[in-house]
Homo-oligomer: A and B are copies of this chain.
Amino acid sequence: MNVYPAKQHLAKAAANLGASAGVIFVHGGETLVHPDSDTEYEFHQDSNFYYLSGVSEPGCAAAYDIASGTAILFVRHVSADEAVWIGVPPALEDYRIAHGFDEAHYAHDIGAVLDALKPAVVYMLPHHKADQLGMVLELAVDREKLLPAVHDARVFKDDAEIAIMRAANRISSDAHVALMKEIRVGMNEAEVRGRFAGLVLAGGCSYEAYGSIAARGRNAAILHYTANNQQLDSDAEMILVDAGGTFQNYASDITRTWPVGPAFSPECRAIYQVVLDMQSAVLDACAPHRQWEDMHLLANRVAAEGLLKLGILQGDLDSIMAHHVVGYFMPHGIGHLIGIDTHDVGGYPQGVDRIDRPGLRYLRARREMLPRMAFTVEPGLYFVDAILADAKADPAVACFIDFDKVAEYRKVGGVRIEDNIVITDSGHDNLTTCPKDVASVEAIRAAAYHRHT
Interface, chain A (partner B; CB < 8 A) = 29, 32, 34-42, 44, 46-48, 80, 83-88, 125-127, 147, 188, 190-191, 193-204, 209-211, 222-225, 227, 229, 331, 341-343, 345, 384, 386-387
Q: Of B83, B125, B188, B202, which one neighbours A386 at CB under 8 angstroms?
A: B83
What is the interface of chain A mostly: helix, strand, loop, or mixed? Answer: loop
Contacts of A191 in B (CB 8 A): 202
Query: Closest residue to A221 on the B side, CB-wise?
Result: B87
Residue from the list B80, B200, B331 in contact with A194, Cβ < 8 A? B200
Q: How many whole Å from A220's CB to the nearest CB in chain B?
A: 11
Find chain B residues with CB under 8 A from A211 CB: 40, 42
Whether the Cβ atoms of A35 and B46 lie closer than 8 Å is yes
B386 touches A37 (CB 8 A): no
Q: How far is the CB of A186 from chain B (nearest CB, A)?
A: 13
New A-B contacts (18) at CB < 8 Å, excluding given A41-B42, A42-B42, A198-B201: A34-B44, A35-B46, A36-B126, A37-B47, A37-B341, A38-B341, A39-B44, A39-B341, A39-B342, A84-B386, A85-B223, A85-B224, A188-B204, A190-B202, A193-B201, A194-B199, A198-B198, A198-B202
- Report the separation of the CA atoms of residues A345 and B35 in the bound assembly, to the nearest whole angstrom: 12
Contacts of A342 in B (CB 8 A): 39
Of the residues B42, B197, B331, contact of A84 by C-beta under 8 Å: B331
17 A-B contacts, Cβ less than 8 Å apart? Answer: A35-B46, A35-B127, A36-B47, A36-B125, A37-B343, A38-B343, A39-B341, A41-B42, A83-B386, A84-B223, A84-B331, A86-B224, A188-B204, A190-B203, A190-B204, A191-B202, A204-B229
Interfacial chain B residues near A127, Cβ < 8 Å: 35-36
Let me know if A202 and B210 touch, CB within 8 A: no
Residues of B close to A88: CB separation below 8 A: 386
Give chain B nearest CB distance to A167 CB in angstroms. 14
State how many angstroms separate the Cβ of A49 from the closest Cβ of chain B.
9
Q: Which residues of B contact A387 (CB under 8 A)?
A: 84
Among residues of B, the one whose C-beta sits closest to the C-beta of A212 is B201
Complex interface: chain B residues within 8 A of A345 (CB)? 36-37
Contacts of A193 in B (CB 8 A): 201-202
Closest-CB distance, A266 to chain B (whole angstroms): 27
**Contact A35–B29 (Cβ < 8 Å):** yes
Query: In the bound complex, what is the Cα–Cα distance between A193 and B199 (angstroms)?
Result: 10
Q: Given B41, B125, B198, B209, which contacts A195 in the complex, CB threshold below 8 Å? A: B198
A32 to B29, CA, bound (A): 14
Q: Are A201 and B197 in contact (CB under 8 A)?
A: yes
